Amino acid sequence: MSAQNQIRRKTVRDIAKAKGGEPLVCLTAYDATVAHILDPHCDILLVGDSVGMVVHGLPSTVGVTIEMMILHGQAVMRGASQAFVVVDMPFGSYETNADQAFLNAARIMQETGCQAVKIESGAYAATQIRHMVERGIPVMGHVGLRPQATNVDGGFRAKGRTDEEWTRAIEEAVAADEAGAFAIVVEGVAPDLADKITATVSCPTIGIGASANCDGQILVTNDMLGMTDWVPKFVKKNADLKTEIETAAKLYAEEVKSRAFPGAAQTYKLRKTAKS
Ligand code: KIV
């Protein structure tokens, strides 16, 4: 393929330009096959640390490691050619100080080739964001319901019930924005709080369980495809892959047991030749 025919991968400038315009389409991806299918439809593919729960069966994202994120980030980069790929920094890999954040983010970017990292950004994280951005690492923030902080919150609880929750979410978003985040995920907040954040910050907001007025939307792909029994209220299942997979597996089991599989179409027709 000539350089002219190559598909151009989206850049951080394309994402930043979306503020106030057509909503950004974002989904999570964890492997090359699914990334390849989603790629033409998405502005951003997030290798979310939700991989720990939906792929590895962990009870929360707290047990996810940098090595897991790198492995899945590499796979997604092999499958996607035009989407802007962001890899989540897992719990414990960026909170200590700016140097820890930069060194781990640099490793993730070097080993995966991704375009940016995401951190769950409490107000304290402005220092880390500024430090990374100044050193060449685009950073996406994440405010509101922060899955890595659910042990402090006592579970996955939507935010926006009290003045204090409003103030904190807005302060976190402003801190990330002023520190140079190129976009901010706003998760699990009241729609009017999400709208206030979108109107306040200069970078695009990406909503999940937030508001249709955000500058983009993201969902965990496995939830959107209906692969799991339970999904949060904010998920709209656009497919029922769990039933599809169950039906296909049941048919396979029946045909193996009855010896209907493999049939003539699935077996080789080879003629034996005389030895030379
Ligand atoms: O890990 C993840 O999938 C995320 C999205 C839910 C935004 O952070």
Whether residue 262 lies inside any domain: the answer is no
pLDDT score for 4: 57
Whether residue 107 lies inside any domain: the answer is yes
Whether residue 268 lies inside any domain: the answer is no
Whether residue 252 lies inside any domain: the answer is no
Q: Which atom of ligand 1 is nearest to the CA of 219?
A: 6
Alpha-carbon dihedral sign for residues 154, 64, 203, 31? negative
Q: For residue range 111-142, what is the model confidence (pLDDT) as tens digits?
A: 999 999 999 988 889 999 999 999 999 999 99
Whether residue 242 lies inside any domain: the answer is yes
Q: Among 34, 44, 50, 139, say which to mutate for ligand 1: greatest number of ligand atoms within 8 Å of CB.
A: 50
Phi/psi-derived region of residue 57, left when phi > 0, alpha when psi is between -120 and 50, beta in every other case: left
Whether residue 255 lies inside any domain: the answer is no
pLDDT category of residue 273 using cuts at 50, 70 and 90? confident
Ligand 1 neighbour 208 (Cβ under 6 A)? yes
Q: For residue range 187-240, what is the model confidence (pLDDT) as tens digits?
A: 999 999 999 999 999 999 999 999 999 999 999 999 999 998 889 999 999 999
- pTM metric for this prediction: 0.94
Residues 6+ apart with CB under 8 A from 197: 143, 169, 170, 173, 184, 186, 189, 205
Total domains in the chain come to 1
pLDDT score for 21: 97
Q: What is the CATH number of the domain that holds 121?
A: 3.20.20.60
Residues 6+ apart with CB under 8 A from 108: 66, 69, 70, 73, 87, 89, 114, 117
Q: For residue range 30-49, what is the model confidence (pLDDT) as tens digits?
A: 999 999 999 999 999 999 99
Whether residue 154 lies inside any domain: the answer is yes
Ligand 1 neighbour 50 (Cβ under 6 A)? yes
Q: 98, 89 in Cβ contact below 8 A? A: no
Domain span at 82: 8-247
Whether residue 18 lies inside any domain: the answer is yes
